[in-house]
Amino acid sequence: MKSPEEVELDAKRAELIVLQNQLVDKELELATRESTLADFRQQYLKTVGVKYSELDYIEAEIAERLAVRSPGDDNAARKAREAREKAVATEAALNDSALVTAQLPTSDELKRLYREAAKKMHPDLADDPEERKRRGAWMARANEAYRRGDEKGLRALLEEWLHSPESVRGEGVPADLVRTIRRIAQVKKRVSDIERQLTEFMSSEIAQLHAKAVAAEKDGRDLLKEMAEAVEAQITQARKRLERITVRP
């Protein structure tokens, strides 16, 4: 017959399993949305962002030509300086983003492997600081493999984890009960934190634009293409304005 502590431990372990599954689902949702929006952001920059960069440089050239025509106009000089700074900043943002690659995970097997990895490795499943740090490093590797869509790498990581000596732990019922109760509290906090992150994440400008793009696609429209065409029209008008400006010798 089980002791009261053993019965309680069984109940807490069952509760922890439910919470762990919930946590894994939330982690997967967050990672997937991050990948989705990172991928969309790259599409936006390549389709629309480059157009804005071109437009900014034309506007900077216009402002600088106007400043040359009015050498004593401090306001014109300031506008020219600000326009050039904006153009340089836009180009720098594009170059930085070009270094970021993202792949949207679509494989069911990849998602299954990620769930399994999170169930076993997640740092919120440990209460010892050193163990949490160790798990955090493992989970970071799992997240990176997931974002790359690397099934083979994620599977190899799981195998490595399962055969690591640190994965085998245990100190008796009383300690296990306390540890399990603390893990439950940690997992609950992590779930709450992820829900907050998701709310903030999905309220970002890029997330809202992505939602509009998805809605437009359902109507048979390509929102990014439409935006790029609108900026291209502005570029055409800006070039005409630039051509009309004559720099004094």
Place of tokens 């984890």: 161
Residue 223 CB neighbour total at 10 angstroms: 19
Q: Per-residue pLDDT tens for 150-173?
A: 888 888 888 888 776 655 566 778
The pLDDT of residue 167 is: 59
Q: Among 9, 19, 8, which residue's Cα sits nearest to residue 171? A: 9
Rounded Cα distance between 80 and 67, Å, is 7
The pLDDT of residue 92 is: 82
Coil vs helix vs strand at 238: helix
pLDDT tens digits in sequence order for the chain, 249 residues long: 888 888 888 898 899 889 988 988 998 898 888 888 888 998 999 999 999 999 999 999 999 999 888 888 889 889 989 989 998 888 887 776 554 444 444 578 888 888 888 888 888 777 778 888 888 888 888 888 888 788 888 888 888 887 766 555 667 788 788 878 887 888 888 899 899 989 988 888 999 999 999 999 999 999 999 999 999 999 999 999 999 886 454
* Residues 157/143, Cβ–Cβ less than 8 Å: no
Single-letter amino acid, residue 46: K
Rounded Cα distance between 201 and 112, Å, is 24
The pLDDT of residue 170 is: 62
| Residue-range domain boundaries for the chain | 4-244
Q: Could you tell me if residue 220 is left (phi over 0), alpha (psi between -120 and 50 degrees) or otherwise beta?
A: left
* Residues 207/34, Cβ–Cβ less than 8 Å: no
The pLDDT of residue 178 is: 80
- 169-172: list long-range contacts, CB under 8 Å, 24+ apart: 169/131
Q: Per-residue pLDDT tens for 215-241?
A: 999 999 999 999 999 999 999 999 999
Q: Among 157, 135, 141, 146, which residue's Cα sits nearest to residue 109? A: 146
Coil vs helix vs strand at 134: helix
Rounded Cα distance between 68 and 79, Å, is 12
Rounded Cα distance between 131 and 161, Å, is 13
Rounded Cα distance between 218 and 248, Å, is 53
Half-sphere exposure (Cβ direction) of 160: Cα atoms closer than 13 Å: 12
The pLDDT of residue 246 is: 64
Rounded Cα distance between 80 and 17, Å, is 62
Rounded Cα distance between 116 and 142, Å, is 10
Instruction: Output b/e per residue, 26-58; b: 16+ Cβ within 10 A.
Output: bbbebbbbbbbbbebbbebbebbbbbbbbbbbb
The pLDDT of residue 159 is: 85
Q: How many helices (H) and strands (E) does the chain have?
A: 9, 0
Rounded Cα distance between 154 and 147, Å, is 10
